[in-house]
Amino acid sequence: MKCIKHIAAVAVLAFSSLTAHADQLADILDAGVIKIAVPESFPPFGSVGPSLEHEGYDVDVAKLIAENLGVKIEIVPVSSKQRIPFLSSGKVDLVISSMGANPERAKSIWFSSAYAPFFSGVFAAESMDISSAADLSGKKVGVTGGTLEDLELSKSLPADAEMVRFGDNAATITAYVSGQVDVLVTGNTVAAKVAADNPKLEMKTKFIIKDSPAFMGVKAGEMNMLQWVNVFITHKKLGGELNAMSEKWFGQSLPALPVL
């Protein structure tokens, strides 16, 4: 009899432990507020704007999440190194901070499906007919020497294309804006800033060299939260909201993004 009582007591304790486990999504809805980490200083994903408030693609996505949850938002600016510790410790409920997913990070946190484009690419005037490296034939291509973009594109550049290498991003951008080169090879965030500062250039993405999209970080074990976030991302892709944000902040349509 004592043995049966002991087994029953253990079962009750185990059940109590399971039911007592807090559900983050339910807690957020009950509290009426969600704390979301965004980039501290990484435009156009997140940075302090002219109004001295944080703005950017990630900030807009974070605000839309709060709106869809029907709760208030607490924006928490973080550096790259703070993203995972803040999430794991509970200082934030969600990380939306231009974060790439990899097996090492996935040991400590969960990742959503991709929500934002982050890539190295080839950019030029909308009127230029360029869709692959072969189309760079006969053109002057500006790139910062020794970068990932330089190394990757050099493998497939046509023999009659002229790769003009510069010492830093500032010099590369100046060369493109001034017309010294026909094509700019850089990251999409840099290109977005150039396009915004120089609208007359009518610069567009021509093709992607290397794709490294951004994913949201969810605290490990929070399955309900992860499922809600993935439904949100799918819904906003289909509804066009993420595409509108991509056009606003990156100057391009939202490309196809991987789903986890």
Model confidence over 41-86: pLDDT tens digits? 888 899 898 889 999 999 999 999 999 999 999 999 998 889 999 9
Tokens read off for 47: 């940075």
Could you tell me which CATH number the domain at 119-211 has? 3.40.190.10
Q: Show Cβ contacts of residue 256 under 8 Å, excluding neighbours closer than 6 positions.
A: none
Tokens read off for 211: 């794709």
Confidence (pLDDT) at 22: 66
CA-based nearest residue to 60, from 238, 246, 190, 260: 246
- CA–CA dist 204, 50 (Å, integer): 26
Q: Show Cβ contacts of residue 196 under 8 Å, excluding neighbours closer than 6 positions.
A: 44, 251
Q: Are 96 and 115 in contact (CB under 8 A)?
A: yes
Say yes or no to pLDDT of 257 above 50. yes
Characterize the bridge pairing of strands 183-187 and 54-55: unpaired
- CA–CA dist 6, 11 (Å, integer): 9
Say yes or no to pLDDT of 222 above 50. yes
Q: Are 123 and 186 in contact (CB under 8 A)?
A: yes
Average of pLDDT values for 5-9? 48
Say yes or no to pLDDT of 231 above 50. yes
Say yes or no to pLDDT of 14 above 50. no
Say yes or no to pLDDT of 11 above 50. no
Confidence (pLDDT) at 148: 80
Condensed to tens digits (0 to 9), the pLDDT of residues 117-164 reads 888 999 999 999 999 999 999 999 999 998 888 988 999 999 999 999
Residues of the chain with CATH 3.40.190.10: 24-118+212-250, 119-211
Q: Between 188-197 and 241-250, two packed helices, what is the crossing angle to 10 degrees?
A: 70
- Confidence band (pLDDT; 50, 70, 90) for 228? very high
- What's the gap between Cα 228 and its chain centre? 18
Q: Are 185 and 157 in contact (CB under 8 A)?
A: no
For domain 24-118+212-250, the CATH class is alpha beta
- Confidence band (pLDDT; 50, 70, 90) for 253? confident
Average of pLDDT values for 92-118? 94
pTM for the full predicted model: 0.75
Confidence (pLDDT) at 12: 45
Query: Between residues 108 and 252, which one has the greater pLDDT?
Result: 108
Confidence (pLDDT) at 17: 41
Say yes or no to pLDDT of 2 above 80. no
- CA–CA dist 184, 191 (Å, integer): 8
Q: Show Cβ contacts of residue 142 under 8 Å, excluding neighbours closer than 6 positions.
A: 164, 166, 172, 175, 176, 180, 181, 183, 184, 185
Condensed to tens digits (0 to 9), the pLDDT of residues 161-215 reads 999 999 988 899 999 999 999 999 998 888 988 998 999 999 999 999 988 899 9
Confidence (pLDDT) at 173: 93
- Return the sign of the alpha-carbon dihedral for residues 54, 57, 61, 64: positive
Mean pLDDT, the chain, integer:
90
Say yes or no to pLDDT of 21 above 70. no
258 upstream amide cis, omega within 30 of 0: no
Exposure letters 196-231 (e unless 16+ CB within 10 A, then b): eeeeebebbbbeebebbbbbbbbbeebeebbebbbe
Characterize the bridge pairing of strands 140-144 and 109-116: unpaired
